A and B are shown apart, each in its own frame.
Chain A
Amino acid sequence: MNPLNRTKGDKAFDAVNVTLLTLGCLLVLYPLYFILIASISDPNRIFAGDVLFLPKGITFDGYERIFSDPGIWNGFKNTFLYSSLGTAISVTLTITAGYALSRTDLVGRNVIMIFLLITLFFHGGMIPTYLVVRDLGMVNTVWAMVIPNAVGLWNVIICRTFFQTSIPKDMLEAAQIDGCNDLKFFSKIVVPLSKPIIAVMVLFHVVTHWNSFFDALIYLNNDSLYPLQLILRNLLIQSEVSSQMIGDIESNQAQLAVAEQIKYGVIIVSSIPLLILYPFLQKYFVKGVMIGSIKG
């Protein structure tokens, strides 16, 4: 559209539009920015309300305390394990199922789809699922963190749509004439051609696993298995800052202040891996949502 043709009304519209969007943007950004500057500011000045736009009395004391805490490290280690193992399992199941369902010559395809779709509308719910996991002996094991939520139907559908639109039928026929079977075709041709959707799925699952806490809450009661998010919850929400972190400080008041600073720091520390991934995350997530929205 030629901007020269804009009428007065359009100019007013644009001015209001840009202003509102900029304001909204600041509203989203400021809390994140504040956490960052608060995490490196002198806790007493945060308490006094001094810190608003710039860090005051810069100190990395909070981070030192966080990184010297063995609980946090253990949480990172567990989350890393659950994320990598869980993602490997989930992506494998999602991609293989998505591919099989994308094949129009699969006998019973519609019946299988209905079998899967029913679970979107009706499910056993929290307690019966918990009982299944418990009866399988998964409680307090790594498996409780990676198996019960391994497959999301929505992701299977996204993959199916991708395979349907990007793997030409002729290719399969050509391969079949050359004597290629389905498994070989899948591993030698489909997988290498599907790197974009695999990347989307890997990122989806890494983020889900990194952020998940509820499975840990109900299936784990041994703190050596706790993922980062559960440790964060105890620290941020239940305010259980370990004495190891602040035990050397004598006055109660100062302990409270440092505990607050640790909270800001821990928000940053726990989010760093996702922040590093963010440029990829954003792009691939948008792609995934788009593929998913084309066709149900």
Chain B
Amino acid sequence: MVSIKTRKPRLHKRLLRNWQLYLLLAPTLFYFLVFKYYPMYGLQIAFKDYLPSLGIWGSEWVGWDHFVRFFQSYQFWEIIENTLVLSLYELAVGFPLPIILALMLNMLISTKYRRFIQTIVYAPHFISVVVLVGILFVFLSPSSGLINHFIVLFGGEPINFMASPEWFKTLYVFSGVWQGTGFAAIIYLAALAGVDPSLHEAAVMDGASKLKRVLHIDIPAIMPVSIIMLILALGNLMNLGFEKALLMQTPLNKESSNIIATYVYEVGIQQAQYSFGTAVGLFNSVINLILLVTVNQIARKVSENSLW
């Protein structure tokens, strides 16, 4: 047998042949180097006493000091608890709702009405966080807000919602539901659109009710997507919608609105304690990474669906 060797061109020749593609790619790679990778290099200031005059490299090492200071600070447990409770609360309410909405929309008989509802429920997604929180403030205003008018109308006492720590988490979660549920349902609707109609027809033949079809056809069909979404959500557990929390924060609700990200902003940007802020942020990222890897591992074992 004669084997004919087809020689691959040398690497640098192949690289050269691609040079125009690299040219197209270069600006974006450069962007990632400067704005994503260089900040990773900057993370070392979490272990240093960063002084702008000495630069990242030149500043003095202090080891774990900033972390220890964070763990020992009187706010530590409050911040961790707020971050975790708020995330889990949001996950418990915000994760299942888009799935339920998608299942309900999918079962609507009139496609016209379905499209009409979708148009409406998508709309709040396009409102900015600033406007969303602005709406919360005007609606919940103790003197002029709509909600308090209703409370007074039914004989209650007006509540100063935005100044009450006990209301912060509920307002945060349910305003998010109002804004995001419709849009988040899209991905599940796409998965449901891929279900083979003959499955449903066969089920009808066998006398399955609509509810049974939802339970035994639709829900299994969207399981893989749901699990991926859940992994992503759990991996981001500590990465709350920080902008909204910051906007909703008032001095009076701070004991319940102070989360890791707002704390990083406060100490790192406002008080310019760069090293300490970086240490707190790094702590957060590492926990997220551990969560993501763990959850992915578990998902792979129990369901064969995983990110990698």
Q: Which residues of A contact B (CB under 8 A)?
A: 1, 3, 5, 7, 9-10, 13-14, 17-18, 20-22, 24-25, 27-29, 31-32, 34-35, 46-47, 49, 92-94, 96-97, 99-101, 103, 105-108, 112, 115-116, 119, 121-132, 136, 147-148, 150-151, 156, 181-183, 186, 207, 210-214, 218, 229-230, 232-233, 235-237, 239, 256-257, 260, 263-264, 267, 270-271, 274, 278, 281-282, 285-286, 289-290, 293, 296
* Contacts A126-B268, A229-B128, A260-B144 supplied; 13 other A-B pairs, CB < 8 Å: A47-B144, A96-B24, A97-B25, A106-B18, A121-B292, A127-B278, A128-B38, A129-B42, A131-B45, A260-B138, A267-B134, A271-B127, A289-B187
Q: List 18 A-B contacts (CB under 8 A).
A: A18-B113, A22-B117, A29-B120, A97-B27, A100-B22, A107-B14, A122-B289, A124-B42, A132-B38, A181-B20, A214-B243, A229-B128, A236-B133, A237-B134, A267-B131, A267-B134, A274-B126, A289-B190
Q: How many A-B residue pairs have CB under 8 A?
A: 260
- Residues from chain B with a CB closer than 8 A to the CB of A97 are 24-25, 27-29
Q: How far is the CB of A115 from chain B (nearest CB, A)?
A: 7
Counting chain B CB atoms within 10 Å of each CB, which of A27, A28, A46 scores highest? Answer: A28
Which one of A14, A107, A207 has the highest number of Cβ atoms from chain B below 10 Å of its Cβ? A107
Query: In the bound complex, do residue A96 and residue B134 qualify as a contact, i.e. CB atoms below 8 Å apart?
Result: no
Which A-B residue pairs are the 6 nearest by beta carbons?
A124-B39, A236-B134, A128-B42, A211-B128, A125-B281, A97-B28
Q: Which residues of chain B have a CB within 8 Å of any CB of chain A?
A: 11, 14-15, 18, 20-25, 27-29, 31-32, 34-43, 45, 56, 101, 104-105, 107-109, 113, 117, 119-131, 133-135, 137-139, 141, 143-144, 146, 149, 152-153, 178, 182-183, 186-187, 190-191, 200-201, 204, 209-211, 225, 242-243, 246-247, 261, 264-265, 268-269, 274, 277-278, 281-282, 284-285, 289, 292, 307
Closest to A16 in B: B104
CB distance from A141 to the nearest CB of B (A): 15
- Chain A residues contacting B121 (CB-CB under 8 Å) are 24-25, 28
**With A24-B121, A229-B130 given, is the CB distance from A125 to B21 under 8 Å?**
no
Q: With A107-B18, A233-B247 as given contacts, are A127 and B264 in contact (CB-CB < 8 Å)?
A: yes
Q: How far is the CA of A267 from the CA of B15 in the complex (A)?
A: 53
Q: How far is the CA of A130 from the CA of B35 in the complex (A)?
A: 10
Known: A100-B21, A121-B292. A13 touches B130 (CB 8 A): no
Which has the most chain B C-beta neighbours within 10 Å: A5, A17, A125, A218?
A125
Determine whether the beta carbon of A182 is less than 8 Å from that of B21: yes
Grouping DSSP codes into helix (H, G, I), strand (E, B) and loop, the A interface class, with mixed when no group exceeds half, is helix
A112 shortest CB reach to chain B, Å: 7
8 Å CB contact of A281 from B126, B139, B246, B292? B126
